[in-house]
Structure 1
Amino acid sequence: MYSDTWIILLALWLTSASSSQGVCKKQRVSALLGSSVVLPCNFSSDDSSWVEWTQEDGQNVDLVRLSSKGRILYLDPRSGRVKTFPLQASERKYSIIIDELQDSDIGSYYCRKSNECFEVKLSKGQGVCKTQRVSARLGSSVVLPCNFSSDDSSWVNWTQAKEDGQNMDLVRLSSKGRILYLDPRSGRVKTFPIQALKRNYSIIIDELQTSDIGSYYCRKSNECFEVEVELSKYKDADVSLLRYVFIGMSAVLFLSAVVYFIKWSCNKHTLDSTADPSVEM
């Protein structure tokens, strides 16, 4: 009788222990190598326990710990490529970003908090960047177009590719109009946050400089847009020559109008004098 009681108690304890661990909610995301990807994690409970992100592929690697009060403890930031949203933690949102995605980042990630768990399976996205060329003169403004077809909640990242391989992140935009400037270039980089609601993530670069010339990438999950910025075929000398020609033609037309007006006035005065008999000849 006592043995049966112990068996029942042991079964109840095992059931309680397994239920306390919970079952991981699963989600799959994909992204192109070199792009930025958001790993989502949203919990229902509102306790004060820490949340831990781990990559588990053969050998577990702890990435970062977050608290509901916005505190962050980076364990493996991967040279700054792992980023968080500390302000979102108060809303029980513990999503993270991995920038400049690499092959070693592909795999399974777990976001754990007390008795809740979120599993995110990250895979390599497939696709080819759509390309477009735009030209502009130095000192002018140029629009870099970017329009996506998908309507997900992932962030859009604008990056300029450098010849030395050190890409420069310019700005990050969300479909809700949020903006995160990473390299605004003294305010020369501008966005259209309202257009993001229409999946239009184009940007403007004002006062174009030589360092701005090159390839830009607009990436969102498994979609990519490449914009090649090049100098206009019309050089400054050519533009100056056209300006002088225009000024010269305007001056000639103005002088011709003045001469015509003088001749017309003289002819009119002669006719008036002939028609008036009171005028002495």
Structure 2
Amino acid sequence: MCVADPEKANQLDWTKRKGIISGIARGLLYLHEDSRLKVIHRDLKPSNVLLDDVDMNPKISDFGLSRAFGGDQSIDITKRPVGTLGYMSPEYAYCGQVSTKSDMYSFGVIVLEIVTGRRNNRSLEDNNTAARSLLSYVWDKWSAGTTHEVVDPSLRGRYLEGEVVSCVRIGLLCVQEDPSARPDAAEVVLMLDSHSTSITMRTPSRPAFCFTEPGVVNPALGYHGTRDANAMATGHLPTPGSDNEVTISDLQPR
């Protein structure tokens, strides 16, 4: 799945995009709650979401890095995080903390990419200002009350504004820095399928990896300086064992 490709994006009207978002959420609900073992994907990204030829129904794929939790286990700590930068939650990328909420962070990034038609791990240029990440861009527009400006232009205004705003809100809720503040898959499915104001009126807080000005960083992450801030914002952190600075590979017995 790639909505950042102009040719492919034109094949995805808003109804299809909304269906893809809902399908991924239901897939995560099955993995996290309905399967025999709780499965954490750990590398959820657009290239790991396959669409069928007819209805473009999404299927989550590539479970080579997944973790299975048994019993009442809800969290695990891995010595070395694996996955794709730009889609990894802060607690997983820097502390190795694995949970369903780390998958929900990745889901939130994908939702915002589907709505905007832009990639999170590519910096954005907006009105000749400094390069920013997708999360920073969407958060700034959301805070300013101009959420409609983030919608993919290829949709040409053919969408329901209420649905788009709801999806942007869900995406921002999922990429909050505090894992406990992120909704789980069941809540996301309910928000997508329901018009209950008690759920949809939740207000997201500032996303993780959100930098509106060069050099402004979250001190809790232990990074300082413009170079590191821009690197984290665009998802291009230098990482050991990665030649292209995009993925991290770590062989672990399963």
Q: Give the structure with the higher percent helix.
A: 2
The structure whose Rg is larger is 1
- TM-score w.r.t. the length of structure 1 is 0.24
Q: Give the structure with the higher percent strand.
A: 1
Which of structures 1 and 2 has the larger relative contact order (alpha carbons within 8 angstroms, sep 6+)? 2
- TM-score w.r.t. the length of structure 2 is 0.26
